[in-house]
Chains A and B, each alone.
Chain A
Amino acid sequence: MKRKILDCLMILICFILQTTLFKSLAFASIAPNILLIYTVSMGFMQGKKEGLLVGFFSGLLIDVFYGDLFGFYALIYMYMGYFSGFFCKIYFDEDIKVPMLLVAGNDLLYSFFVYFTRFMLRGRINLLSYFQSVIMPELVYTVLITIILYRIFYAINHRLQEKEMKGKRSSWLRG
C-alpha cells in the first residue's frame, strides 16, 4: 500500500518537475525525460509488473495533459517499463551502469517511435537532422541526469524495501 502511494506521488512529482523546472533548465531547447528515468528505474528495480504499471500511469498523465491521442504515451511508457523489467534479474546494489544503458536504450527507442509515428508519417523524412537536433541531445541529457536521479530513486526504494522486510519479519515472529 505504502509503495503504491509513494509511486503515485513520485510520478506526480516527476511530471510536474519535468513540465516546469526542467523545461526552464533546458539546454538548446532540449529537456531531459525524467518520467522515462523513473519508469525505467522502477522496472529495473521492481520487475516487469511494477515497471509496466508505473509506465502506464506516467504515460497516461502526459496523455491527459498534453497528448492529443489518449493512450499513445501510456502505451509507449508501459512497454518501456515492461522491457526494463526483464533486466530485474541482474539488478544489483548501487550499480549505475546498467540503468544508464537501459535509460539510453529506452530513450532511443522512445524517440524513434515518436519520430516514426508522429513525424515521418507527416512527411518529415529528414531523420538525420531530427537525430542531431532532438534525439541525440535528449539522449545525452537524460542519461546524464540519470546519474543523479537514479541514486535518489534507489535510496527511496532501498529504504522502502527495508521497511517492508522488517514488517514481514515481525509479523512472522508474532505469528
Chain B
Amino acid sequence: MKKKRKFTIKSKHLIVGMTIFCIGLIIITLSSPFVTDPIRNAAGFVIRPFQNGINTVGNWLTDKQSGFKSVEDLSDENKTLQAKIDELTTQNNELVQNQYELDRLQELYNLDKEYSEYNKVAAQIISKDPGNWYNVFVINRGSDDGLAVDMNVIAGSGLVGIVTEVGANWATVRSIIDDESNVSSMIATTSDTCIVTGDLTLIDQGMINFSQLTDKDNVVQEGDKLVTSNVSEKFLTGILIGYINQVTTDSNNLTKSGTLTPAVDFKHLREVLVITDLKQQKTE
C-alpha cells in the first residue's frame, strides 16, 4: 500500500514540497541558529571517526606528492635554510639576553606573565569544508576536551582562527583567511589598530587583507608585525597574525590598507593548538 502511494507522488509536486521545506529550514535557522545543534552533534558522532581515518590516507598522499621534489631544489633549500639557521642563532642569542633582562625587569616591576602562559590543547585537523568558498575546518577535539565556542586557535607561533562550533568530539574552526573572517588587530610596534579580513581571491597567493589602519606619522612599513589587538572581543591580545606585505593610503587620506602574509602556512596545516582560555574569562 505504502509503495503504491509513493509512486503516485510526481517529481513536480515533490520538488515544490521540498523547496518549501528547505526554505522553512533556512528561515528557522536564521531566526534561532541553535535549533540544529543536537542534530549536528548526533551526526558528528557517526561521521567524524571515518573522516579521521581517511584523512590519514590523504596526508600520506600529500607526503608522497611533496616527496617528488627534485634533489636540486632540496639542496638549494638546504643552503638557504642553513643560512637562516645561522641568522636565527645570532638573533636567538640576542633574544635570550633580552629575555634575561626582561625577567629581571619584570621581577622588579612585579608583573605577572599574563600572556605567555595560556592553557593549550593540541588537536588534529580531520576534515575541511567541502566547497571551495570557505576556509573552515574540523578538528578532532570537542567539548569533552574542554573546548568552547570563541576559543582561539594557533599553530606554531601564529593565529589560525577561532572555534565557531563545538560537538562532543569535534569542533569547527574558521580560519583567518576565510572570506567571512574579521580580526581586530594592531601593529606590534606602534599599537595602531586595524582590521584583518580574509579574502578568497588572495588565498592562493598566501595573503590576507587589512584595512582601516590609522597611521598618522607614516611609520608603518612592509615587514611590520601585526598582532591581535587588545580591543578585540574574542581574540586574546598579542597573538601574531603575520607580516605586512604592502601598505597603501586609502582614498580618504586618513586610513591605510594593504595585504599581509600570515605567519601560519595554511596550505600545509595539520596540527593546531587551541587556547582554552577565553578572553572574556581573562578580563573578568
Chain A positions near chain B (C-beta within 8 angstroms): 12, 15-25, 28-31, 33, 35, 47-49, 52-53, 56, 62, 64-66, 68-72, 74-75, 78-79, 82, 85, 114-115, 118-119, 122, 124, 126, 129-130, 132-134, 137-138
Collect the chain B residues with CB atoms within 8 Å of residue A70's CB.
Answer: 25-26, 28-29, 35-36
Q: Contact residue range for chain B?
A: 35 or more
Which residues in A have their C-beta under 8 angstroms from that of B55?
20-21, 24
CB distance from A114 to the nearest CB of B (A): 5
B43 at the interface (CB under 8 A from A): yes
Residues on A with beta carbons closer than 8 Å to the beta carbon of B36: 64, 70
B179 touches A124 (CB 8 A): yes
A68 to B258: give the CA distance in the assembly, Å.
29
Alpha-carbon gap, A114 to B132, bound state (A): 10
Residues of B within 8 A of A12 (CB): 47, 50
Q: Can you give 21 contacting A-B residue pairs, CB < 8 Å?
A: A17-B54, A18-B130, A19-B51, A19-B128, A20-B51, A21-B54, A21-B58, A23-B128, A25-B61, A31-B128, A35-B130, A49-B9, A49-B11, A64-B43, A65-B44, A70-B28, A71-B21, A72-B26, A78-B19, A130-B201, A132-B201
Given contacts A75-B22, A85-B11, A130-B201, contact A16 B132 (CB under 8 A): no
Q: Are B47 and A71 in contact (CB under 8 A)?
A: no
Stretch at the interface among B72-80, B133-141, B149-157, B186-194: B133-141
User: Interface residues of B: mostly helix, strand, loop or mixed?
Assistant: helix
Least CB separation from A115: chain B residue: B133
Q: Residue on A with the closest CB to B205?
A: A133
Interface assignment of B57: CB less than 8 Å from any CB of chain A: yes
Contacts of B111 in A (CB 8 A): none
Smallest CB gap from B12: residue in A:
A48
B146 neighbours in A (Cβ, 8 Å): none
Answer yes or no: B272 CB below 8 A from chain A CBs.
no
Task: Name the residue of chain B whose CB is nearest to the CB of A25.
Answer: B61
Report Cα–Cα, A85/B14, bound state, in Å: 13
Tell yes or no: B39 within 8 A of A by CB: yes
What residues of A have a CB within 8 angstroms of the CB of B65 in the complex?
Answer: 25
Chain B residues close to A by CB (< 8 Å): 9, 11, 14-15, 18-19, 21-26, 28-30, 33, 35-36, 39-40, 43-44, 47, 50-51, 54-55, 57-59, 61-62, 65, 126-134, 136, 138, 172, 179-180, 200-201, 203-204, 267
| Cross-chain contact A29 with B267 (CB below 8 angstroms) | yes
B24, B44, B127, B180: the one contacting A23 at CB < 8 Å is: B127
> What is the minimal beta-carbon distance from B208 to any residue of chain A, in angstroms?
13
Partner of B15, one of A22, A33, A78: A78
Contacts of A23 on B, CB cut-off 8 Å? Answer: 58, 127-128
- Please tell me if the beta carbons of B201 and A126 are within 8 angstroms of each other in the complex: yes
B residues less than 8 Å from A29 (CB atoms): 132, 203-204, 267
Partner of A20, one of B28, B58, B267: B58
Choose from A53, A66, A126, A129 the contact partner of B134 (Cβ within 8 Å). A66
Docked CA distance A52–B22 (Å): 13
Instruction: Please tell me if the beta carbons of B204 and A133 are within 8 angstroms of each other in the complex.
Output: yes
